[in-house]
Structure 1
């Protein structure tokens, strides 16, 4: 088996079915399997997927175990030489797998790669090519310096806005919505850290992959569409909490020992302030009827 595609579903029946349709419409000479993990959806996702795509290897969890743990369930059973994390709210192009696998096979030094990810309006999903969220990178991003000086590398360490999105680069971090990882790399660095429930697991994985000496590449010769949830709807408290908890967890795991007490304190205070502001902003938004694709951790 060349490729194992891992998809996590949580109450995204229609999006997931559309994603699977695009996957099975792929034109490729490579062999692939699809392993889908459902995190105890309350809609009819499981029955619908089984009826329309009986060839999918489906695991139906009895509880929502989170994005990292669910992906790890699929990775443990995967038979492919490459593992692809693919969000349920994405649409792949017919040649996406062929192009990405050709690239990975031709570059054995690359441990993980991602393609160009665009939003439904055609704009770039900026999370698909990122730097690591160091204290300085996070500061410039959080306080808007990256928007004020979009062409200055110093102020765009996180979203790398100064790089042409149509050219390939070695980068620090991909997005979990589409992340192709070499099996040999996973065997060396391990799977996703399950301490990250639904955010930050992709950044942490990329950090460990690069720490082990592998390269990570952004390769925009093909693209996918990423249907992110509308930001104009109120999110459940847990979503906001987990997003900010992931920031603290990542900093403690990878950066705390490299910085002074004052810098670490500033980071924690900054995250706390950002968390409080996010709660206030969220409270003013209309109530969201149900959790959507962004609520599984991508």
Structure 2
């Protein structure tokens, strides 16, 4: 039986954040008849047990191991009964009103394949990497220069109305079930990073729009279950190279591989 909306929260060793995340919308979601799914990616901190005890209406799916964000999200998508599905990071604070607005926007605009609200940091600043352009070589070079970094990030343009973009962050991303059936789930070859870029690109290639709508705002605390230090950069670059290999071909991938050391130096300037 279909439900109006499925909210899918993917977690990995973020028990307290996950509780806080679900608390933001739980009562209103239950009252509206929405489905709430918590996918636990093999946490060792008791996240799954805590969610089950605190929120009886939440359907908890336990993965045996952490195979990455995309794999966890796909477990939730596959189990979902919603006509609209929202992927939500466990470190996102999203009121039910925002989630409902995303659902209504998708149902009112069948040409929109994916939509995301504005993302704010804990201090209230616009979050970098909330949306952007495809990571072409030209884009990466522009982003590497300090003087162009703001514009390349697309987070300081003073955007106040919905705009079409190449991709939106998977931290809070809404799609219709029919779009998932048409383009397929997230690509699990991306353990972390660029799974949202890849999905949005496939959604656009299927003829849909990808929209960033800052009229609705959520707080993204950010990075709670990510690798730290050099491991972050390594995973990021592996996923970027995988994205290039999939979408831009071997020549562009080889050029990127050669340019990565220069790019890293520019980003540290």
Same fold (TM over 0.5): yes
Contact 2:29 2:35 in 1 (8 A): no
Candidates 238, 241, 247, aligned match of 2:240: 247
Contact 1:37 1:74 in 2 (8 A): yes
1:192, distance to aligned residue in structure 2 (A): 0.2
Q: Could you tell me which runs of 5 or more consecutive residues in structure 2 were left unpaired when the two chains were aligned.
A: none
- How many residues were matched structurally? 265
Matched ranges for 1:12-161 at <5 A? 12-26=14-28, 30-147=32-149, 150=150, 156=151, 158-161=152-155
Distance 1:223 1:243 in 2: 26
**Other-structure match for 1:271:** 260
Question: Alpha carbons of 1:144 and 1:182: their partners in 2 closer, same or farther (altered >3 Å)?
Answer: same
1:266, distance to aligned residue in structure 2 (A): 3.0
What do you get for the CA RMSD once the two structures are aligned?
Answer: 2.5
Residue aligned with 1:95, SS: helix
Question: Alpha carbons of 1:63 and 1:104: their partners in 2 closer, same or farther (altered >3 Å)?
Answer: same
1:114, distance to aligned residue in structure 2 (A): 0.6
1:66, distance to aligned residue in structure 2 (A): 1.0
Residue aligned with 1:136, SS: helix
Matched ranges for 1:208-227 at <5 A? 208-227=202-221
**Other-structure match for 1:292:** none
**Other-structure match for 1:199:** 193
**Other-structure match for 1:296:** none
1:164, distance to aligned residue in structure 2 (A): 2.7
1:276, distance to aligned residue in structure 2 (A): 8.9
1:161, distance to aligned residue in structure 2 (A): 4.3
Q: Could you tell me which runs of 5 or more consecutive residues in structure 1 were left unpaired when the two chains were aligned.
A: 151-155, 282-298
1:122, distance to aligned residue in structure 2 (A): 0.6
Contact 1:28 1:97 in 2 (8 A): no
